[in-house]
Structure 1
């Protein structure tokens, strides 16, 4: 028990010292505090190292709370029956806490019953996880209507500017000349480095470690994959197809794997939040099911720093995809004989193109927009702004900062 108490105390002290030595910003999230204002479970999900632990502590700072990170190798041997010892150690260290914060508790099989018991005893609980399936099993069964889940992404462009201490001077959608020039310069840096907090706090090289941890801990270990080299080949080949349609059958043939294995690996990369799937827009459920999906990376820094790809048009499209997913939009694209529309949202048709002026606009991308109706039409450009008939052209930097 003493060693367990020491681990828990060390973890909490380390988390709190983070606020003393690092620059911490308030994340641009909904008011998550209201979801734990009464005995409830708030699950903060998202890709590894996106800031979930920091956000959790921001929500409870000033309160008495117990914190345990189950992604600690010293706790790997814990089983469900040991979780009561964890609870006891927290009480002995911190007294009758107001909140429980549990990082990556899904590493412990059977954790759901433990969390549910704490909730029934009137405790307020925040859990974090790097896997979207953590709420699809027993937790959903035991906590129907008793949990809220929120997906956290790496820094948005707006959060990145805030972290850099850049103050933007604007009135509605009108920016000062100085602010506009600073924003454009910083956008280039953001598209290169992405939004993982540690990349900006430590070094851009750390993104390789982040991606490696996602692949190893959240996919290979979880699925108990034995053909590790083959999986690495699959994973990095798949990542290189970002902003494009992917054919899982092609991967199956190329790597000499069963289609079931390829689909399992593909879904595991989605569940680990490493990639974002985008399905084809159609009124027909069957057409959506059989049509190939497009994929996007969870962070633009993976494209430039890990894949060493500087295809600005693809990175722009990927960044818009993340922006939409962060707002809760389901990613869908439209395709017809006349062309493709990058994104179809609840209210908008969106094209993304690297255009610095009117002459750079691809006529084919505009023509396909003229054929669709019922939603607002937007073309996100690099630095061209105008409105032609019912199509709004807006620079990427302004689109990412729009309310």
Structure 2
């Protein structure tokens, strides 16, 4: 299968082309960052940019091993930089280069150099890079395939509901589309991705010695999708199985997992008090396939899976996403952007009247005039309950 054209991200790169600002593309391993840069390189060539103006280096390619030294890299680049024309430099997985930020900072001094870099963890935006390049870079955070992207390459004869089932049963990592839905091959592939992330990005970078405990924490978080979680609760659960770990260590683990984009956090927001809370965050997996990999059939929770998918879609659409609290009730998501809040409840089905009323009640307590949505998998016509719009979640994911 040919690569899916990630139009949303490609358009962002086009917008920033030739702007004197460093483009930093981040996201979990194998989500499509390298492919996006290759697509943009092809766009440049099709736009009339000559091959001599483009330098593309993948620092996970052993052919570039000697260039992992910053001085060697800079010496390699100098004679290739154009004097009169723009030079487009693509650094893929640049975190593998020692002191890479100093090379980038030096290149940035030349206004005829347009720089694009990718990396698989938030380390790119921490420490010296943020200090050296403050105000001189923008980030484009990639995720694996959205449902809309996934659905666009499925058999046209399938219904949206059937495509959604495939989406949550398989994986959103782009390469898995080449595996023709073979569940064993998909799990083998995801196992490799997971091992690489845990061992290379988490364990080695953050010097974590107890890998079994780390995986237990990941399993706990994945199993708690959609539920408020505290580090104390995780520690108590581990202790109940005879394994001792303190809250600070768990905080370190969770922070590392977030830095490597395998786990995303929704902090809590008090709707009435209009303040952000520091306790009982919710966590979501970057890919439902990874959740199946670790939890097996235990992960087959339709409502929480849908909630996970909706959370990631809100992130893709540029929202900051919080878990809402109003009185003693919970709102699944308070999605915030420059236009204000959108309040969202997620439920597999609300055809049962008691379930419907339970899901509506928190939204009914919200007194402002911002949009309120109830997203379900029910294949029913859109309905309005005094300003609360109930709609089919799969259609919402497609932007319908």
TM-score category (smaller protein): 0.7 to 0.9
Aligned residues: 367
Q: Secondary structure at the match of 2:159?
A: helix
Partner of 2:295: 307
318-327 or 31-40, larger mean C-alpha shift = 31-40
1:24 CA displacement: 3.6
Partner of 1:8: none
Matched, 1:108 2:97: yes
Specify every segment of 5 or more residues in structure 1 that has no aligned partner in the other structure, as ranges: 1-20, 167-177
50-59 or 208-217, larger mean C-alpha shift = 208-217
Q: Are the equivalent residues in 2 in contact too, given 1:207–1:305 (CA < 8 A)?
A: yes
| Cα distance change of structure 1 residues 398 and 284 upon mapping to structure 2, 3 Å threshold | closer
1:112 CA displacement: 0.7
1:259 CA displacement: 2.4
Deviations 1:14-47 (A, max 9, x none): xxxxxxx734423323432221323431111111
Q: Secondary structure at the match of 1:322?
A: helix
| Cα distance change of structure 1 residues 261 and 305 upon mapping to structure 2, 3 Å threshold | closer
Partner of 1:91: 80
TM-score, with structure 2 as normaliser: 0.84
**Matching of residues 278-297 of structure 1 within 5 Å:** 278-282=266-270, 288-297=276-285
Partner of 1:36: 17
Q: Are the equivalent residues in 1 in contact too, given 2:272–2:326 (CA < 8 A)?
A: no
Partner of 1:4: none
Deviations 1:268-322 (A, max 9, x none): 1011111110111127999734321000111222233442211000000000000
Residues in 2 aligned to 1:71 and 1:358: alpha-carbon distance in whole angstroms? 53
233-242 or 320-329, larger mean C-alpha shift = 233-242
Matched, 1:137 2:143: no
Q: Are the equivalent residues in 2 in contact too, given 1:339–1:365 (CA < 8 A)?
A: no
Matched, 1:262 2:241: no
Partner of 2:182: none
Matched, 1:376 2:366: no
Residues in 2 aligned to 1:79 and 1:224: alpha-carbon distance in whole angstroms? 22
1:360 CA displacement: 7.3
1:59 CA displacement: 1.3
333-342 or 370-379, larger mean C-alpha shift = 333-342
Partner of 1:185: 162
Could you tell me which of 317, 322, 333 is aligned with 2:323? 333
Partner of 1:160: 150
Q: Are the equivalent residues in 2 in contact too, given 1:193–1:305 (CA < 8 A)?
A: no
Partner of 1:174: none
Q: Are the equivalent residues in 2 in contact too, given 1:275–1:296 (CA < 8 A)?
A: yes
Specify every segment of 5 or more residues in structure 2 that has no aligned partner in the other structure, as ranges: 180-184
Matched, 1:47 2:42: no
**Matching of residues 176-255 of structure 1 within 5 Å:** 182-202=159-179, 203-205=185-187, 206-253=189-236, 254=238, 255=243
| Cα distance change of structure 1 residues 336 and 163 upon mapping to structure 2, 3 Å threshold | same
| Cα distance change of structure 1 residues 286 and 187 upon mapping to structure 2, 3 Å threshold | closer
Deviations 1:206-239 (A, max 9, x none): 1221122111111111112222222222222322
Q: Are the equivalent residues in 1 in contact too, given 2:343–2:372 (CA < 8 A)?
A: yes
Residues in 2 aligned to 1:73 and 1:117: alpha-carbon distance in whole angstroms? 25
Q: Are the equivalent residues in 1 in contact too, given 2:326–2:365 (CA < 8 A)?
A: no
Matched, 1:392 2:380: no
Alpha carbon RMSD of aligned pairs, Å? 2.7
Q: Secondary structure at the match of 2:14?
A: helix
Matched, 1:125 2:77: no
TM-score, with structure 1 as normaliser: 0.83
